[in-house]
Structure 1
Amino acid sequence: MSNWRRRLDQGLNLKPDEGPAVIAGLALFYLLFTGYFMLRPVRETMGVAGGVDNLQWLFTGTFVVTLICLPLFGWLASRVKRRRILPWTYAFFASNLLLFAVLFARDPDDIWQARAFYIWLSVFNLLAISLAWSVLADLFSSEQGKRLFGLLAAGASLGGLTGPVLGTLLVAPLGHAGLLVLACLLLLGSIGATLYLQHWRDRHPLPAMSEHPASKPLGGNPFAGASAVLRSPYLLGIALFVVLLASVSTFLYFEQARIVSETFADRTRQIQVFGLIDSVVQALAILTQVFITGRLARRLGVGVLLVAVPLVMAAGFLWLAVAPVFAVFVVVMVVRRAGEYALVRPGREMLFTVLPAEDKYKAKNFIDTVVYRGGDALSGWVKRALDVMGDHPQLAMLIGAAIALGWAVTGGWLGRRQRGLEERN
C-alpha cells in the first residue's frame, strides 16, 4: 500500500501531507462547477430565447450588476475575517438560488425573469470561481501552485463534466426550479470543503501567514482592488490579459448563439447540444490538467500556459473565417474552452501566488469580475456593430485572430514578470 501511495503521489506531483488538501480542493471545485454547469445550459437557452440580437444587452446588464457588486464584496473582504469571506459569500448566493427556484416554480415562462437569471448566473459564475481561486492562491505557495493548480483545476473540469449530464437527465423530471435547489445544496457542500482546507492550512502554516493571519480582516477600503490594479504594471498586465481573453470568448460566444440558433430550432435540442459540448470540453480538460499542466509549468514556466491557447485560437479564427459552419465551430470552441480550463486558467491563477494577501482577494476580484465583464460588454457591442454594418462574420473572425495574437504577447510578458517576482520573493 505504501509503495502504491508513493507512486501515486509522484505521478500527481504531491509532497507528504498534501493529499488531504488536494482532496479538499478537488471537492471545492467539483461541487461548485457541478452546480454551475448543471445550470449553464439553462442559461444559454434563456439567452437564445430572449433573441440573439439582444445578447449585447444581457452582456451590458451583467457588467452593470458586476459594478454594483464590486463595492459590496470589497466591503465584506475588508471587514470580516479572511477565512470567512468565501463561506459568507457562497451562503448569500445559495439563498439567491432558492429565491429563483421559487420564482421559476410559480412562472417558468416569464422572459424578464429568465433574463434576470441569465445576468445573475453570469455574475455568480465569475465571482464564485474567482473567490475559490483567491482562497487557493492564499493557502498555497507559488511552488505548490505550479505543481498543484492544474490538478486542482481537474476538480472543476470533472464538475463541468458531471453538471451537464445531470442537467440533461434531471431537467425533465425536476424542472428548472428543482435544478436550482440541487445547485444550492452543492454550493453549500463547497463551503464545507473550503472550511476543511483552511483547517489543513492551520495545521501546516506557511511562513508568510504569521505576518498576515487568515483570522484577521484584510482591512483597507472597498475600492482597494481597483486602485491596486491602476498602480501596478503587473496587475495591469493581468487585466489586459483578461480583457483580451474575454474578447476572444465573446466573439466565439456570439458565433455560438448565431450558428446554434440557425442549426437547431428546438429549445430542448439546443440544451442537449450545449450540454454535449460541455461534456467533451471537460473530458479533454481533465486529461490535460492531471497529466500535462503541472509538468509544463514546472519545466517551462507559467508563460507557456498563457501563450499556447491564444496562438491556437488565432489559427482557429482564421479557420472559421474560411469555413463558418457548425462542425468547424464545434472544433474551435472545444479546443478553446478545454485549453482555457486546462492551461490558461491555472496559469492565470499562478500569477497571483506571488502577490500580497489583499491583492489576492480584492485586486483579483476586480480583474476577474469588473474587468472581465467590461471586456465582455465592449466586445459584445463591437461584434454586434460589425454584424449590423456589413453582416460579414468573416470580418469579425479576422479581428478575433488579431486579438488572439495580442493575447499571446501579453501572456508571454506576464510569464516573464511572474518568474522575476517569484525569484525576488
Structure 2
Amino acid sequence: MLPLTPSSFHRILSRVTPVNREELRGLLWSFLCFFTLLASYYVLRPVRDEMGVQTGAQNLPWLFSAVFVSMLVLVPLFGWIAGRLPVRRLIPTVYLFFSSNLFLFFLALISDLPRTTVAPVFFVWVSVFNLFVVSVFWSVMADLYSTESARRLFGFIAAGGSSGAVAGPLFTALMVPFLGVAPLLLVSIGLLLAAMTCFFAVFRTHPRHAREGAGTTILTVEVDERAPPSLWIGLTKILQSRYLLGICLYLACYSVLSTTLYSQQMVLVPQVVGSAEERTQLFAWVDFAVNGLTVLAQIFLTGRLLAGLGVTAMLVLVPAFNVVGFSIFGLAPILAVLVVFGVLRRAGEFAIAKPTRETLFTVVSKEEKYQAKNVIDTVVHRGGDMASSWFSNALQSAGLTIGETAFAAVTIAVIWLANGFYLGRHHGRIRDGHSRDDHHSSAQ
C-alpha cells in the first residue's frame, strides 16, 4: 500500500472541496479546530440539561431570564473588548478564560456545595459560553480567509463543526456511566484547549492573512461601514415592516414551542429517570440523534427540498409537523413520545426551518438585514425563550396537566403554520418585485 503523501491527500480532498494545495494545511487545522470546539460544547450540553433538572422545572423562567439579561449586557461589552484586541491575543484570552471557568465549576461539583447552588449558574454559563466561542471562531475565520477562499472552503470547515456536534454527545453518552458527570467538564476543557492549539496552527499557515494589529468583528451579522448595529435602529426597521414583523412572529412561535417542550422535558425526565448519570446519558443520546439526523438531512434533503418545494412549503413543513406532534403528545404525554417528537422536531428546525428562515432575508435591503437581523437573532430569539418560559410556568401554576399544555401548544403551532404561509407568499411577491411598497409600509 502506497503512503498517503500531501499531494495524494490533496487530490483526494479536492474531489470533495475545491481547495488549493497551499491552503490544505490551514483548511485541515480549521476543520479540526471547529470539530474540537463544538465537541467541547456538546460534551457539556447534556450536563447543562441535567443542571436544569436539578434546578427544578419551576425555576426555568428565572434561568431563561438570566440568559437573556446576560446576553444583553455581555454581547456589546464583549464586542467592544474584541474590537480592541489583536486576534492572536483574543483567542487565548477567551479560551483560557472559559477553561478556567470550567475548572472552577468542576471543583464546585466535586465539593460539598449543594448542587442547587451550582446548577443554575452552570446552566446560564453554558448558554452564554456557546454564543461567544462560536462567534469568536467564525470571526477569526473571516479575518484569515479571503472572500473568495471563504466561499470555497467554509462549507468544509462547517462540516468539522457538525462532526464535533455528533462526536461530543456520543462521547458523553458512552462515558458518563464510567466517568460520572463532573469529570466531563475536564474533557471539555481538554477539547477547548485543543481548539486553541489548532487556532495557533491555523495562524501559522495563514501568515499573509493574519492581522496582527487589527481587532475582529464579533457578534455581528455582516460588516457595514455606514453604522454599527443598533438595537433601536433595528427595532425601528422591524416596526416599519410587516414582513420583518412576520419573521419575528415566526421565530417567536418557534421559541414558545421549544421552551414549552423543554419545560415538559424537565418535568417528565426526573419522574422516569432516577440518577444524574442516567439523565445526562439520556440527554446526550438525544443530542446525538438530533445532530446526526441534522447532518444527514442537510446532506441529502435540505437543498433538494428547498429547490423542489419552494420557500412557502418549506416554511410550513416544520410548523405542520408541530401541530401533529403536539397533538400526539397531548394524547399520550409520556417520555417516549416526548423524546421522539423532540428529536425529530429539533432536527427539522436545524435542517429545514432555519436554512429556509435565512432565505427570507435575501429580499430585504442590506441595512434592514444588518440592523434588524441582529435584533431578531438576539432580542427576539432569547427574549422569546424568556417570555415563553414564564408563559409555560403560568400554565402549570394554573393547574394544566402536561397533556393539556401540549394541546394549548397546538394553537401556537397553528398560528406558526399560518404565519409561515403568509411569509412565504410575501417573500415571493417581494422577490418578484410586485410588493416593494407593501414591504416598506408601516404595520397597522
2:256 maps to a residue whose letter is S
Q: Secondary structure at the match of 1:224?
A: coil
Match of 1:320 among 322, 329, 332: 329
Code of the residue aligned with 2:104 in structure 1: it is L
SS in 2 for 1:391: coil
Partners in 2 of 1:417 and 1:144 — Cα distance?
Answer: 28
Residue of structure 1 in register with 2:36 after alignment = 31
Distance (Å, rounded) in 1 between the aligned partners of 2:274 and 2:374: 38
Where does the alignment leave 5 or more consecutive residues of structure 2 unmatched? Answer: 218-222, 437-444
**Quick one: structure 1 residues 101 and 392, their matched pair in 2 at CA, closer, same or farther if it must change by over 3 Å?**
closer
- Measured after TM superposition, the shift of residue 262 of structure 1 is 1.9
What is the aligned partner in structure 2 of residue 244 from structure 1?
A: 253
Contact 1:161 1:279 in 2 (8 A): yes
**How far did 1:266 drift?**
2.7
Alpha-carbon distance in 2 for matches of 1:19, 1:414: 40
- 2:305–2:314: 8 Å Cα contact kept in structure 1? yes
AA in 2 matched with 1:285: T
Say whether 1:118 aligns with 2:143.
no
Distance 1:57 1:358, change over 3 A: same
AA of the residue aligned to 2:413: A
Which SS does the other structure have where 2:398 is aligned?
helix
What SS does the corresponding residue of 1:324 show, helix, strand or coil? coil
Q: How many residues align?
A: 412
1:67 aligns with 2:72: yes
Equivalences for residues 1-12 of structure 1 within 5 A: none
The residue correspondences of 1:331-410 to structure 2 (distance < 5 A) are 331-348=340-357, 366-408=375-417, 410=419
One of 48, 53, 75 as aligned partner of 2:58: 53
Q: Is the 8 A contact 1:83 1:215 kept in 2?
A: no
Matches within 5 A, 1:217-236: 224-233=229-238
| More moved, 84-93 vs 280-289 | 84-93
The Cα shift of 1:305 comes to 5.3
Instruction: For 1:87 and 1:350, locate their aligned partners in 2 and report how far apart those are by CA, in whole Å.
Output: 35
State which of 295, 299, 306 in structure 2 corresponds to 1:290.
Answer: 299
| 2:328 matches 1:281 | no
Moved more, 232-241 or 34-43: 232-241
Deviation at 1:383, TM superposition (A): 0.9
Equivalent position to 1:187, from 175, 185, 192: 192
Does the 8 Å contact 1:126/1:369 carry over to 2? no
Judged with a 3 Å threshold, the aligned counterparts in structure 2 of structure 1 residues 326 and 216 are, in CA distance, closer, same or farther, namely closer
CA contact (8 A) 1:309 1:336 kept: yes
Alignment match of 1:106 (pick from 102, 111, 120): 111
Contact kept? 2:176, 2:277, Cα under 8 Å: no
Residue matched to 1:44: 49
Match of 1:207 in 2: none
Q: Is the 8 A contact 1:321 1:395 kept in 2?
A: yes
Pick one of 165, 187, 193 that aligns with 1:160: 165
* Aligned 1:132-143 pairs, distance under 5 A: 132=137
Asked if 2 retains the 8 angstrom alpha-carbon contact of 1:154 and 1:289, the reply is no
Identity of aligned residues (%): 39
- Find out whether 1:255 has 2:260 as its counterpart: no
Q: Quote how far apart the aligned CAs of 1:394 are.
A: 3.3
What is the alpha-carbon distance in structure 2 between the residues aligned to residue 20 and residue 401 of structure 1? Answer: 50
Q: How far does the alpha carbon of each residue in 1:157-178 deviate from its partner, in whole angstroms, 9 at most, with x for none? A: 4323222232244446655453
Give the AA of the match of 1:41.
P
Q: Which moved more, 1:129-138 or 1:47-56?
A: 129-138
CA change 1:236–1:70 in 2 (3 A) is farther
- For residues 338-386 of structure 1, the C-alpha deviation after alignment (integer angstroms, 9 at most, x for no partner) is 22232334445566789869976x8666544443221111111111111
| CA gap 1:201/1:4 in 2 versus in 1, 3 angstroms | closer
Unmatched tracts of structure 1, length 5 or more: 205-212
Conserved 8 A contact 1:306-1:347: yes
Q: Indicate the structure with greater helix content.
A: 1
Using the TM superposition, name which of 176-185 and 55-64 deviates more.
Answer: 176-185
Q: How does 1:67-106 map to 2 (within 5 A)?
A: 67-76=72-81, 78-80=83-85, 89-106=94-111
**How far, CA to CA, are the matches of 1:194 and 1:419 in structure 2?**
44
Q: Is the 8 A contact 1:31 1:187 kept in 2?
A: yes
Q: Is the 8 A contact 1:33 1:159 kept in 2?
A: yes
| Contact 2:82–2:215, Cα closer than 8 Å, also in 1 | no
Contact 2:237 2:368 in 1 (8 A): no
Over 3 Å counting, the alpha-carbon distance change for 1:239 and 1:259 in structure 2 is same
Contact kept in structure 2, 1:74 and 1:221, CA below 8 Å: no
Structure 1 range deviating more: 166-175 or 305-314: 166-175
- TM-score normalised by length of structure 2: 0.73
Question: Once the two structures are superposed, what CA deviation does each residue of 1:38-62 show, in whole Å capped at 9, x if it has no partner?
Answer: 1122222222122222222222222
Kept after mapping to 1: 8 A contact 2:330/2:407: yes
Q: Structure 1 residue 315: deviation in Å?
A: 1.8
Once the two structures are superposed, residues 250-303 of structure 1 have per-residue CA deviations (whole angstroms, 9 ceiling, x without a partner) of 011011112212222332222222222222222222211222334445666666
CA distance in 2, matches of 1:304, 1:28: 36
Partner SS, residue 232 of structure 1: helix
TM-score normalised by structure 1 residue count:
0.76
For the residues of structure 2 that align with 1:358 and 1:134, how far apart are their CA atoms?
21
Distance 1:200 1:344, change over 3 A: farther
1-side partners of 2:361 and 2:139: how far apart? 8
For the residues of structure 2 that align with 1:322 and 1:187, how far apart are their CA atoms? 43
Structure 2 CA distance for aligned equivalents of residues 86 and 371 of structure 1: 29
